[in-house]
Amino acid sequence: MNNSRRAAVFVLMRWLATKEFPQKLLSTVEDRSFVQDMVYTSVRRLRPLRAILGEFVKKWPKGELEALLYIGAAQILYMEDVPDFAAVNETVAAAHLSSNPSVAKVVNGVLRNIIRNRAQIEQKLKASPAEVRESFPTPLYRRWVEKFGEESAAEICAQTNKPALTYLARKDGSFSSLERGVRVEDVAGYQEGEFIVQDPATAAAVELMDVSSNQDVLDYCAAPGGKSVQMSWRGANVTACEVNPRRRQVLEENIRRTKLNIKTVGSPNELKGRLFDAVLVDAPCSNTGVLRRRPDARWNWNERKLAELVEIQGEILDTASSFVKSGGKLVYSTCSLETEENLGAVEKFLKKHTEFSLASYKELTPLMTGSDGAFAALLIKE
């Protein structure tokens, strides 16, 4: 018999051991929506869950037992639609499948203790610092306090902890949210390529591109292809560049499904000698604007990785800018909230490339959009 908790435990256990992005591990499980909710809730709420569980175990568990306790406690404390009895009974049933007979007893005891002490736990959480209560690394939270103010920083954290909606973007420029639990592949028009999966916040970059019919456009970091598709829908002649072979495969699958005439290349070397009316650089970033759908990214964040990303972004911008014709546009975008990756990166680029000037930019937080955060800047070449 399929046990959703067992599947969630396996995915979470793998993530705890390898830090491999959970989405990959979820692609083949049954009851995917519920399993994903349990895994993502556990990952989002890792910091308070660890603090709470630490009060009910003598020695911090590892491996399977650690994952079982996270999954069970996450259901009890953060998943209101799951009754306590189901959270305990089904998680204990998953624990009984362990090769260690004592695991189920520990899981049962700890989860029942959490239920008995729920009022005190909730009171203690309420009195905790925002970064603990909302489950964020302290250095990242302090950066947000400095940038947005304490109240807004806490609100961004709370907003980010809500499960992400799936949005569908259509040819007419509209976005609609998908009902939770519905598979994208089951929506009418999927096979015909009538829509793509994309958050409304991504429209900022496409709007700044403002492409028109028959313009030659380069999407420089194109995968998974949503922005390429939107620009092609608007009549542009799009070339999509993606150097990562696995991501390029996803890009090409989306292009095939939408039945658009978008040329793909796997290296900037294939573009030598070409100039474009507009170039879009949707740069790899720290993903701090999309933590609703990338809950694990908060635990991968640190200042060293941020600095490395800033260097990479600068190199990408330098190369991509060489493909912009005189009088053309360069749009730089990220899904980050960090100044160094956004306006800071643009200002560094402009100091090196005086032939470009900043025309406008948009900086969106999850509080502004109700969904993802995003940054986009429009640069014009003389």
Q: Decide if 262 contacts 229 (C-beta within 8 A).
A: yes
Round to whole Å and give the CA distance between 309 and 180. Answer: 33
DSSP assigned state of 240: E
Phi, psi (deg, nearest 5) at residue 174: -85, 155
DSSP assigned state of 191: T
Helix axes 63-78, 102-116, angle to 10 degrees: 30
Strand ranges, E, within 274-373: 276-282, 324-334, 356-364
- Integer-rounded Cα radius of gyration of the chain: 23
DSSP assigned state of 26: H
Instruction: Give the strand order in the sheet containing 195-197.
Output: 175-178, 166-170, 195-197
Q: Which position among 157, 241, 285, 335 bears the catalytic label?
A: 335
Contacts of 235 (CB under 8 A, 6+ apart): 211, 212, 213, 214, 215
For the record, the structure tokens of 3 come out as 């046990």
Q: Is the dihedral angle over the CA atoms 67, 73, 75, 77 positive or is it negative? A: negative
DSSP assigned state of 270: G
Round to whole Å and give the CA distance between 156 and 131. Answer: 11
Catalytic residue status for 157 = no
How many residues are recorded in the chain? 382
Query: Which residues is 379 bridged to in the sheet?
Result: 330, 358
Active site residues: 335
